[in-house]
Amino acid sequence: MIRVSILGATGYSGGELIELLLKHPAVSLKHFTSESSAGKPVHSVHGSLRGRVTSNFIKADLKKIAADSDVVFSCYPAAAGIKLNAELVAKKVKVIDLSADFRLPTAALYKTWYKEKHTAPGLLSKAVYGLPELFREDIRRATLIANPGCYATAAILSAAPLFKPLAVDASSIIIDAKSGTSGAGKKLSADYLYCEVNENFRAYNVARHRHQPEIETVLQSFSRVPALVTFTPHLVPMQRGILSVLYATLKKSTSTQALLALFQRFYEREPFVRILPEGELPQTKNVAHTNYCDIGITQDSRMRRVIVVAALDNLVKGASGQALQNMNLCFQRPETEGLL
Amino acid sequence: MIRVSILGATGYSGGELIELLLKHPAVSLKHFTSESSAGKPVHSVHGSLRGRVTSNFIKADLKKIAADSDVVFSCYPAAAGIKLNAELVAKKVKVIDLSADFRLPTAALYKTWYKEKHTAPGLLSKAVYGLPELFREDIRRATLIANPGCYATAAILSAAPLFKPLAVDASSIIIDAKSGTSGAGKKLSADYLYCEVNENFRAYNVARHRHQPEIETVLQSFSRVPALVTFTPHLVPMQRGILSVLYATLKKSTSTQALLALFQRFYEREPFVRILPEGELPQTKNVAHTNYCDIGITQDSRMRRVIVVAALDNLVKGASGQALQNMNLCFQRPETEGLL
Amino acid sequence: MIRVSILGATGYSGGELIELLLKHPAVSLKHFTSESSAGKPVHSVHGSLRGRVTSNFIKADLKKIAADSDVVFSCYPAAAGIKLNAELVAKKVKVIDLSADFRLPTAALYKTWYKEKHTAPGLLSKAVYGLPELFREDIRRATLIANPGCYATAAILSAAPLFKPLAVDASSIIIDAKSGTSGAGKKLSADYLYCEVNENFRAYNVARHRHQPEIETVLQSFSRVPALVTFTPHLVPMQRGILSVLYATLKKSTSTQALLALFQRFYEREPFVRILPEGELPQTKNVAHTNYCDIGITQDSRMRRVIVVAALDNLVKGASGQALQNMNLCFQRPETEGLL
Amino acid sequence: MIRVSILGATGYSGGELIELLLKHPAVSLKHFTSESSAGKPVHSVHGSLRGRVTSNFIKADLKKIAADSDVVFSCYPAAAGIKLNAELVAKKVKVIDLSADFRLPTAALYKTWYKEKHTAPGLLSKAVYGLPELFREDIRRATLIANPGCYATAAILSAAPLFKPLAVDASSIIIDAKSGTSGAGKKLSADYLYCEVNENFRAYNVARHRHQPEIETVLQSFSRVPALVTFTPHLVPMQRGILSVLYATLKKSTSTQALLALFQRFYEREPFVRILPEGELPQTKNVAHTNYCDIGITQDSRMRRVIVVAALDNLVKGASGQALQNMNLCFQRPETEGLL
């Protein structure tokens, strides 16, 4: 059995992880940490787990966690878990970090976007970006996995087939993405009160969201092409789901069928990417509570503009499900185990 | 008093119109037509009007309506009202048509997009596009007003200041728009059932929605520049509100402040357009139940890409409120009467 | 013009009041107080007011408010406004208090339910309960009006016709009420985050909600019958609206028609109570954004059980609209002015 | 492997069943019937199943289904499946009927409430009511199982512990229940359009809903006490979940602790009923996508009124999950298999 602990387990991705791990046949759940809820039953925070998880949250304790865990999932907010995770890695515990702490290539870029000094910069080059569709073999060998951002997962999966070989103008890319509200986590901010979100739709951090550099650097590291992406996120009055629409200018005219074939070939062996037939487009409800990313392709041929629509569940393929997929890879389990 | 009748008054824009007209001090409400609900009380369809509107729906009767009305608001589905409206115009009754029947310049284009033969093609060139911010003087003198589409209103108000003089590449324009579900009307389709819309987000008719040619032809007729627009609509799980995001490539680099100043000057005397200060972006909740269109501007200066975000209420500025604004103009009333 | 100030104006009932007062022809808006937002524009909190209200919030200043106001609407949380309101009353400014501070008859009862010492107990007997349908003449002469609770308004309007003369067993009453989330105000609690409210339905404070004693004491003071009410509130995943279902055992068998006639007679001159015909039941959407309370009546004749369903908008008839109705009465204005 | 077919598989309970059955280790899925969608891929209706279920819907064919199935789940609307199900039973195929066709004890009662002649009245006494908590042993031996109604499941589980021995006045029972909109199925009615349900709350069929006689007759058959229940259903603007509040008058005063103990004893071996500790109440989100029924108990001791709050997922414990629990019992599988 793989012994698993979850750090910072009171939030939405923590709750989703527990639900998924409970159904995984090869996992033994060990510790759930929380500074604020230590001592309280896990079900006092995640009410659906009453009667199914009987343990209490504990405070993070390096020794205990290292001794009892083969892998930890770290769900801390930005910068809060860097030190602990570095220590766990040093003790050969595998770390799958759902925060952004190890996603960007340099401490300088991290400081620019997250306003925090990175306290383990030496690990940045060792961390593997945990997007199996692009980096599967690296993930199998990794000790520290930077689990991708939810928006970034949708955006990169939409863009990657267009980048190798480069089929579009690499500075023409616009990603107009929309996310359900669980993406914001359980932050206690008036902006996320029911009455502020319901019956409201808005864009935020337009062209200055933290996933923009993540998308750009990952596309670049994958394709060796310098990509420039204008990224616009929106808040949708619903709980889970991301729909991302990519616009890019094709280098030369082509048919929609040819574009579809390009995507089908790129993802033909992928268990969690579904390419839709011509004329169909993804909807978030079809991927809710699943680890799938659905992708549809169309174009405005007048301007040689390709349009790629992707849908995924921000808590599953965009966070906890993908983390579990990464765990399966790290521990030589079937990649889809516990996820279908 | 302006004597007003509403044709096809059982839908959402009909209901919104009645609510607005009840508060207008210079309006006398005459007839409400409906083929399916004729004989039934208006409040049997619009429950909020119980005790406030005591009349019944009647079947459309040209003579009666022409005799009793100075103006009609026509809320029929596409093509259903062309004949009656043409007859009313012939009898000098002013017609404000909330359908798309008189928005496109030619019968051929109408046939292409609406799959219907236009039965009054001679009126197409006489109809005025009822967007006061661009065509106010024509509206004052019009007998037949084509009330703009909801998406088109948001898109054109976002784009117009960039077109005269032309500040952007006219084929670089992308409009990624999102609408609440009342925009689909009361159509009895499984797609609009609560359980299909709630907790779901999806794009539809990407690059082939009927408002795309409307946006292009209006921008062209206003600016004399051939505009090409890729238009992507989405369905948001909420009732009312449109948020539209325009992307375009600037001809030359400029500051966001300069872009804001351009929009402020363009709309400085407009009672229903609010330009937001730098750093702020519109939200649909701030325009719900109002006739305002809120606009915010930012850019991704790396690619000289301007981003214009607009929000309006699809049932008010996107339909019934704008129709009332047009009525005020036609009848020399204060333009904001009944709308603030 | 009636000079009006609003104390504690940043919440949902404050925002609703401003919207309503802007449309009232005899009102001049003076001051908006807020301790936390003093100095900021009113539209920075209530975004829909941009361009319509240009003043800033100020800190509460007794002298300034008293000098400039004929009436204040007080929207403070429990106990926070008692002192200021008592001082304003002493200076002959009319106070319409939307909090519960003056709704209960004794300081002891207030302490029991609100856990606060009442610092102006002498005013409790002078305050008039601002439910016009029961206490209209007292309201006309009042200086201090305790504006009713939202649940209490629906419950009392449902029960009153059954109490004078007493038609039911006065200890058989159950009120099972459901409220939209704006009823909870803008409290920054995890319970009211979007992801906790959306797709969730729950009861809370069952048989121990603060409106239970309010309903009981008001029914008692109105009817001289000691009423015992089991009151169950619920949180509905929507923004505004209360639906309240009252169950009571009739003293003797009667027809539903007779029950309807009883309610129709009781409310026959009331501008804001609509009794629905047999077979129809209220829905919150029909009263949203209005000052109406819709009431429908049915029964389970096997057990002589009458069932009264009432719907109102918690922010209008349940708070700000009713407050304005009370203002109209106090200042000898038409009771419906600004409310239709 | 248990060979399973689903009749009338295009609706919400059909979709939920397929999702659940895909995760069941001992099930082999055979046929999915639909008259309207025969020939189309299952994923064309249930989009989440793309790539997971590759078969098409077929027309119902008695021979084929009987030959290939050990059990069928029948999801037809009322009366539509009686004949086919009777034939399958005759051929020794086990039938778990999710409709109401076999829930009521007599054809006369069925006619009264469902307005249809029952065409297999002889089977009514052979059918077992599929509520495992009350009728487990009968279910194990049954060939025809009437799967309980969603409201009825919540109501009966709330009431049963109070009935044996009888602790309440059996004619004092009120059930005020609230359901998410998937309970209405995919009916194409304007009442269930997004814009009619969202931001709306309403009661319907008060004291005349079809689950009222179901609740009464089942309580009676279980306890031998004639129960009279006033049942009020409501429509909640959410997708899934029922919250049911039961009020009843206790025969004698008792403590809430004693009431809790009564419920705990009654359900102590039940895998899917969770009794909450004193002071806690169920919420629908804690049971969403699970087969649990959560129950909380409180009282208004002044009137000896017990209040039992129950929550379940109408599509799982209220329909498809309970159906699967019944299948497990029929086929001597572990009762919770595929359901945890």
D240 to chain C, any CB pair closer than 8 A? The answer is yes
Write down the pLDDT at residue B171: 94
SS3 B27: strand
Q: Which residue from C197, C199, C239 is facing A199, i.e. has the nearest CB?
A: C239
> How close A303 gets to chain B, by Cα (Å)?
7
CA angle in degrees (0–180, nearest 5) for D42-D186-B178: 90
User: The dihedral of CA C223, C224, C229, C234: what is its sign?
Assistant: positive
CA A150/CA A287 separation, integer angstroms? 14
Mean pLDDT of A157-171: 96
For residue B199, which residues of chain C lie inside 8 Å, CB to CB? 199
> How close C286 gets to chain B, by Cα (Å)?
4
Asked if pLDDT for residue B160 goes beyond 90, the answer is yes
Probe site for chain A from D24, D48, D281 (most A CB atoms < 10 A):
D48
Q: How confident is the model at residue A233 (pLDDT cuts 50, 70, 90)?
A: very high
CB contact under 8 A, C206 and D243: no
Q: Which residue from B12, B189, B199 is facing D239, i.e. has the nearest CB?
A: B199
- Positions in chain D short of pLDDT 50: none
How far, CA to CA in Å, does A80 sit from each of A6, A120, C21, C305, D282? Answer: 14, 12, 48, 59, 34
Environment class of A195 (CB within 10 Å of its CB; exposed 0-12, middle 13-18, buried 19+): buried
pLDDT tens by residue, B97-119: 999 999 999 999 999 999 999 99
Q: How many other CB atoms are there within 10 angstroms of residue B187's CB atom?
A: 11
Q: Which pair of tokens denotes residue B303?
A: 């690619």
B47 to chain D, any CB pair closer than 8 A? The answer is no
Write down the pLDDT at residue B209: 94
CB contact under 8 A, B274 and C52: no
SS3 A201: coil
β partners of residue A3: A28
Asked if pLDDT for residue A187 goes beyond 90, the answer is no
Say if residues D311 and D252 touch (Cβ distance below 8 Å). Answer: no
Write down the pLDDT at residue B177: 98
A278 to chain B, any CB pair closer than 8 A? The answer is no
CA B163/CA B159 separation, integer angstroms? 7
> How close B103 gets to chain C, by Cα (Å)?
30
From the list B75, B150, B293, B330, the catalytic residue is: B150
Mean pLDDT of B275-300: 98
For residue B232, which residues of chain A lie inside 8 Å, CB to CB? 176, 245, 307
C288 to chain B, any CB pair closer than 8 A? The answer is yes
Asked if the ipTM is above 0.90, the reply is yes
Q: Which residue from D50, D274, D288 is facing A286, i.e. has the nearest CB?
A: D50
CB contact under 8 A, D285 and A340: no
Rg (CA), chain A: 20
pLDDT tens by residue, B26-59: 999 999 999 999 999 999 999 999 999 999 999 9
User: Of how many residues is chain A composed?
Assistant: 340
Cα nearest neighbour of C196 on chain A: A194
Q: Which pair of tokens denotes residue D25?
A: 């280790």
Write down the pLDDT at residue C19: 97
Q: Which pair of tokens denotes residue A124?
A: 């940045």
Which strands form A202-203's sheet, in the order they lie side by side? A202-203, A229-235, A173-179, A242-249, A305-312, A293-300, A273-275
Find where tokens 């940490």 sit: A33
β partners of residue C129: C146
For C76, phi then psi, to 5°, come to: -70, 160
Cα nearest neighbour of A196 on chain C: C194
pLDDT tens by residue, B161-185: 999 999 999 999 999 999 999 999 8
For D84, phi then psi, to 5°, come to: -60, -45
CB contact under 8 A, D243 and C204: no
CB contact under 8 A, B50 and C286: yes
For D158, phi then psi, to 5°, come to: -70, -30
Cα nearest neighbour of B190 on chain D: D188
> How close C286 gets to chain D, by Cα (Å)?
9
Among D270, D337, D312, which residue's Cα sits nearest to residue D136? D270
Q: Which residue from D200, D236, D245 is facing C285, i.e. has the nearest CB?
A: D200
β-strand pairing of A229-235 with A173-179: parallel
More confident residue, C129 or B187: C129
Please list the pLDDT of chain C residue by residue as tens digits (340 residues): 999 999 999 999 999 999 999 999 999 999 999 999 999 999 999 999 999 999 999 999 999 999 999 999 999 999 999 999 999 999 999 999 999 999 999 999 999 999 999 999 999 999 999 999 999 999 999 999 999 999 999 999 999 999 999 999 999 999 999 999 999 989 899 999 999 999 999 999 999 999 999 999 999 999 999 999 999 999 999 999 999 999 999 999 999 999 999 999 999 999 999 999 999 999 999 999 999 999 999 999 999 999 999 999 999 999 999 999 999 999 999 999 999 9
> How close B254 gets to chain D, by Cα (Å)?
43
Say if residues C136 and C143 touch (Cβ distance below 8 Å). Answer: no
Cα nearest neighbour of A184 on chain C: C195
CB contact under 8 A, A243 and B178: no
CB contact under 8 A, A194 and C193: yes
User: Is D150 among the catalytic positions?
Assistant: yes
Q: DSSP letter string over D220-238?
A: HHHHSS---EEEEEEE-SS
Probe site for chain B from C45, C273, C286 (most B CB atoms < 10 A):
C286
For residue D317, which residues of chain A lie inside 8 Å, CB to CB? none
Find where tokens 């909090």 sit: C99
SS3 D213: helix
Chains A–B, number of C-beta pairs less than 8 Å apart:
138
For A268, phi then psi, to 5°, come to: -65, -25
Q: DSSP letter string over A224-260?
A: SS---EEEEEEE-SSSS-EEEEEEEEBSS---HHHHH
Helical packing angle, D211-223 and D150-159, nearest 10° = 40
CB contact under 8 A, B186 and D199: no
Rg (CA), chain D: 20
CA C320/CA B289 separation, integer angstroms? 18
Say if residues C79 and C114 touch (Cβ distance below 8 Å). Answer: yes
Helical packing angle, C107-114 and C211-223, nearest 10° = 150
Whether the predicted model's global pTM rises above the 0.80 cut: yes
Among A251, A242, A252, which residue's Cα sits nearest to residue A158? A242
Q: What is the DSSP letter of A166?
A: B
Query: Cα–chain-centroid distance for residue C178?
Result: 15
> How close B136 gets to chain A, by Cα (Å)?
30
CA B263/CA B160 separation, integer angstroms? 9
Write down the pLDDT at residue C187: 87
β partners of residue A202: A235, B283
Chains B–C, number of C-beta pairs less than 8 Å apart:
34
Write down the pLDDT at residue D99: 98
Among D59, D55, D58, D120, which residue's Cα sits nearest to residue D87? D120
D315 to chain B, any CB pair closer than 8 A? The answer is no
Write down the pLDDT at residue D187: 87
Mean pLDDT of A78-102: 97
Say if residues C23 and C316 touch (Cβ distance below 8 Å). Answer: no
Say if residues A75 and A99 touch (Cβ distance below 8 Å). Answer: yes
For residue C197, which residues of chain A lie inside 8 Å, CB to CB? 194
Query: What sections of B119-192 are H helices per DSSP?
Result: 132-140, 150-159
CA A153/CA A144 separation, integer angstroms? 18
β-strand pairing of B305-312 with C71-74: unpaired
For residue B238, which residues of chain A lie inside 8 Å, CB to CB? 198-201, 237
User: What average pLDDT is seen over chain B?
Assistant: 97
Write down the pLDDT at residue B187: 87
Domains, chain A, ordered by start: 2-126 (3.40.50.720), 150-314 (3.30.360.10)
What helix, strand, coil percent values describe chain A, rounded to 5? Answer: 35, 25, 40
Q: Which residue from A198, A245, A302 is facing B203, i.e. has the nearest CB?
A: A245
Q: Which pair of tokens denotes residue A9?
A: 């387990």
Say if residues C17 and C75 touch (Cβ distance below 8 Å). Answer: yes
Q: What is the DSSP letter of C320?
A: I
Q: What is the DSSP letter of A148?
A: P
CB contact under 8 A, B284 and A199: yes
Write down the pLDDT at residue B245: 98
Q: Which residue from C189, C195, C197 is facing A182, i.e. has the nearest CB?
A: C195
Q: Which pair of tokens denotes residue B143?
A: 């007998």
B264 to chain C, any CB pair closer than 8 A? The answer is no
From the list D75, D150, D293, D330, the catalytic residue is: D150
Among D99, D253, D221, which residue's Cα sits nearest to residue D156? D221
A209 to chain B, any CB pair closer than 8 A? The answer is no
Q: What is the DSSP letter of C147?
A: P
Mean pLDDT of A180-200: 95
H or E stretch covering C88: helix C82-90
Task: Report the catalytic residues of C.
Answer: 150
Say if residues D276 and D203 touch (Cβ distance below 8 Å). Answer: no
CA C307/CA C322 separation, integer angstroms? 25
CA A276/CA C338 separation, integer angstroms? 54
Say if residues B199 and A288 touch (Cβ distance below 8 Å). Answer: yes
β partners of residue B166: B163
Which strands form D94-97's sheet, in the order they lie side by side? D27-32, D2-7, D71-74, D94-97, D144-146, D128-129
CB contact under 8 A, C199 and A237: no
Restricting to A residues 73-102, those with a Cβ less than 8 Å away from any Cβ of D are none
D195: alpha, beta or left? (left if phi > 0; alpha if psi -120 to 50): alpha
What helix, strand, coil percent values describe chain D, rounded to 5? Answer: 35, 25, 40
Q: Which residue from B47, B288, B340 is facing C286, i.e. has the nearest CB?
A: B47
